Chain A
Amino acid sequence: MKTSGKPTSSMRRQNNPMTPLLEVNNLTMDFGGLRAIDTLDVEIHQGEIVALIGPNGAGKTTFFNCITGIYKPTQGDILVHPDQDTTIRLNGLKPNHVTRKGLARTFQNIRLFSSMTVLENVMIGCHPVTKTGILGAFFRGPSTRDEEQFIVDKSYGILQKIGLEKYVDELAVNLPYGAQRRLEIARALATNPFLLLLDEPAAGMNPRETQELDELIIRLRDEEGISILLIEHDMKLVMSLSDRIVVVDYGKKIAQGTPEEIRNNPLVIKAYLGEDIDA
C-alpha cells in the first residue's frame, strides 16, 4: 500500500505529551433548560485513537457537533494545535472553517451526496484544498485543468486506499451499507485532516466489515498519521482499537483510561447496566 496526499499528513508528528492535538476544556452545551454536555474535558494527542462511549443520549454526537461547528457551545474552549506552537480556537467557527483547519468527520446517519457518483463524493472532499472559482471554471485554463486532474487522481487514490475503487462510477446511493460508511471516511480523508472524527463508523456493519474497518482505522493512523476520535457502540471494536477511552453519561465524563481500566471501572458498569448489578 502506497501512501499519498500532502506530505504533512503522511509525516508522523512527534508525540509530545505536553501539547495535545485537540484540547477541549470545560465544554458545556445547553439546549434551553437541558444540559446536553456538562463541563467536559477531552484531550487527544497526536497519533492516538480515542473512543468516546456512553449510553444512548449521553451527549456524544452533541459533542461532535460542538467540535465541528454545527452547534455553538454555551461555554468552554475547543482548541487545536496543528503543531507545537500554534493554537487555533474552534469555538464559533462555521463547520466549513473547522474542516479547513484540519478536522474532518463522518455522520451517524449516513449523509452521502446520493445523486453523485462515488468518485464525485470524494472529489467534493477536495473542495477545501482546491480553489477554482467561477471565472476559472469558465475559461478552464491550464491551472484549472491541472487542478481538476489533481482532484480526480487524488480522489481515486483515496478510493484505492479505502478499497472502494471497484465502485468508482456507481451512484453513491446504490452502494452496500458498509461501503457507504467507508465512502464517508474516504470523503473525509480528501479534506486532508489531521484529526478524523468518526460517528459510529461500524453501525449496521456485519462482523467481517467491522474487522475490515478496524484494520482501516489502524492503517490510517499508522500510515497517514491521522489521529482519530470515534464514537462507537460496538465494544469489541472499541476495546481492540482504542488507545484511550472516554466514557460520558448525561453529558459528564465519568471515566477515562485504557480499555483495560474502563472494562473494570465500576462507574462505567453502573452507567451501562444500572444500579444494582453487583447486588
Chain B
Amino acid sequence: MKLTDELKKSTLAALWFMFLTFPLLVIRVNTVTDTVEWRWSNMAFIGAGTFFMSIVWRYMIRKKNKGKSQASQDRASALRRFFEQKQNQIMALSILGIFTLAFPHIFSMYQTNIMISALIYVMLGLGLNIVIGLAGLLDLGYVAFYAVGAYSYALLNLHFGLTFWFALPLGGLLAFIFGIILGYPVLRLRGDYLAIVTLGFGEIIRLVLENWSDFSNGPAGIPNIPKPSLFGMDLSLQAHTVYLFYIIVGLVIFTIFFINRLQHSRIGRAWVALKDDEIACQAMGIDKANTKLRAFALGAMWAGMGGVVFAAKTTFINPASFTIWESVIILCTVVLGGMGSITGVITGALLLILLPEYFRAFAEYRMICFGSVLVLMMVFKPGGIIENVRKTYKFNAQAK
C-alpha cells in the first residue's frame, strides 16, 4: 500500500518535470531551415531521472523520520569510544602528523599549493567558528578581516619593508582592532540585522580598497609581496612552498590548540550560553556586549592572520580576492562541517576546498553540486558532518 503510494507520487513528480522542461529540452527550432526538431529522448531522460531521484528522496526522508537506526548509532559511538582511548588517540595523531610532515615531499608542488589554500581556509573556518559556532553571531562580512590582514602585510612590507614574521602578529592585531571598532556599535543588533550590517561592512572594505588608489593601489592590486624567509636564506620556489606549508600547518595546530582551550573555558561556555539565550545569560551576570565583542574580535584576528598567510602565498593581492563569495565559502565550511565542532569545521573546510580542485573536470557543475549538497545537508544532517558533542566534566562529589 505504502509502496504504491510512493511510486504514484514519484510518477507524478516525474510527469510534472517532463511537462515543465518540455519547451526547453524537447523543442528545438532551427531558424535556418525553419524546421522544428523534437528531441523526445530528452524527455525520457528527465522522466526517468526525476522518478529515480524522487524515490531516493522519499526513502531518505522516511528513514530520517524513523530516527537514527540502531546500527549507525552503534557505529558512531564505537568510533567515538575508539578515539577516546589515549593510545588510539596518540596512534591516530602520529599517523596524521607523519603524513602531514611528509606531504610536501610525497606530492607535487601543485598539490602542496592546493593544500596550503585549503589549510588557510581551515584556519579561517576555525576563526569564524568562534563567531558563529560558539557565540552564534552570524557574520557575513568575515572576509573583510581577511582583507585587512592581507593588506596589512602587503602595505607594511611595501612601505616599511616589514617581514612576514612581523606582519603575522601585526596583521592579526590590526584585524582584531578592526573587529572591535566594527563590533562595538554593531553587536547590539541580533540575528538577521547583524548579518546584513556585517555583509555591508565586508563590501565597504572591498570598495574602499578598490577605489582608494593612493592607499591600496586600487584594482591593480599590490604585486611582489615577498614569501616568508627562513633566516635570510635564499630559497628556491619549491623550498618556499614547502616552508609555507609547514608554517600554515603550524598555524592551524596553534589555532586548534587555542580554540580547544577557549571552548572549554569560562569564556567559551559564556559564548555558547549567549547563543542559547541572551536574557538568561545576562541574568547570570555575563556582560553581553563584552562577551560578544571578544568573540567577534578574536574571530577577526584569525581572519587577519589567515590574510597575511594568503598574501605571502600568492605574492599578489587585489580586492577581487575578497568578495562576498569568500565569506560565503567560509560560512559554508563552518555550517557544513558542524557548528562549534573543531573536527567538523576542519573536515568541512578540507572537503569544500579540496573537492572542487580535484574535480576540476566538473567545474561547470560546481554551483549545482554545491547548492544541492547544502540543501541535502540541511535536510538530513542539520548539525553538520561532525556534530559538536558537549564535554562532560569530572567532579569531586561532596559527601552528602
* Chain A residues with a Cβ under 8 A of chain B: 1-2, 4, 68-70, 94-96, 99-100, 104-105, 107, 111-117, 119-120, 123-128, 130-134, 136-138, 140, 144, 147-149, 151-153, 155-157, 160, 165, 168-169, 171, 187-188, 190-191
Q: Chain B interface secondary structure, helix, strand, loop or mixed?
A: helix
Query: Which of A117, A130, A131, A188 interacts with B392 by CB under 8 Å?
Result: A117
Query: Which of A2, A120, A133, A134 interacts with B390 by CB under 8 Å?
Result: A120
Check B183 for interface membership: any CB of A closer than 8 A. no
- Further pairs besides A96-B284, A96-B286, A120-B269: 14, Cβ < 8 Å: A70-B279, A95-B282, A96-B285, A96-B287, A100-B285, A112-B276, A114-B277, A127-B284, A134-B294, A137-B266, A151-B266, A152-B393, A160-B400, A191-B285
The residue among B262, B284, B287, B400 with the most chain A CB atoms within 10 A of its own CB is B284
Check B386 for interface membership: any CB of A closer than 8 A. no
28 of the cross-chain contacts (CB-CB < 8 Å) are A2-B399, A4-B398, A95-B283, A96-B282, A100-B285, A113-B273, A115-B272, A115-B276, A119-B395, A124-B269, A124-B270, A124-B273, A124-B284, A127-B285, A128-B284, A130-B266, A131-B266, A134-B298, A137-B261, A137-B265, A137-B267, A138-B262, A140-B265, A144-B265, A149-B396, A156-B398, A160-B400, A187-B284
Contacts of A95 in B (CB 8 A): 279, 282-283
B residues 32-46 near A (Cβ < 8 Å) are none
Instruction: Check A134–B262 contact: CB distance below 8 A.
Output: yes
Give CA–CA (A96, B268) in the complex, Å: 17
Instruction: Check B281–A124 contact: CB distance below 8 A.
Output: yes
B residues 337-384 near A (Cβ < 8 Å) are none
Query: Which of B265, B276, B395, B399 interacts with A152 by CB under 8 Å?
Result: B395
Give CA–CA (A156, B276) in the complex, Å: 21
B116 to chain A, nearest CB (A): 26
Contact with A along B169-207 (1 / 0, CB 8 A): 000000000000000000000000000000000000000
List the 8 closest A-B pairs by CB distance, nearest first. A128-B285, A137-B265, A99-B285, A111-B280, A95-B282, A113-B276, A156-B395, A169-B392
Give CA–CA (A112, B284) in the complex, Å: 11
- B287 to chain A: closest residue by CB: A96
Contacts of B160 in A (CB 8 A): none
Give CA–CA (A70, B262) in the complex, Å: 29
Instruction: Check A113–B280 contact: CB distance below 8 A.
Output: yes
B172 to chain A, nearest CB (A): 13
B255 to chain A, nearest CB (A): 12
Contacts of A169 in B (CB 8 A): 392
A111 touching B277 in the complex, CB below 8 Å, given contacts A127-B286, A169-B392 = yes
- B392 to chain A: closest residue by CB: A169
Check B20 for interface membership: any CB of A closer than 8 A. no
Contacts of B395 in A (CB 8 A): 119, 152-153, 155-156, 168
Give CA–CA (A187, B262) in the complex, Å: 22
Instruction: Check A94–B273 contact: CB distance below 8 A.
Output: no
Check B230 for interface membership: any CB of A closer than 8 A. no
Instruction: Check A138–B261 contact: CB distance below 8 A.
Output: yes
Instruction: Check A152–B288 contact: CB distance below 8 A.
Output: no
Give CA–CA (A119, B390) in the complex, Å: 11
Contacts of B396 in A (CB 8 A): 149, 153, 156
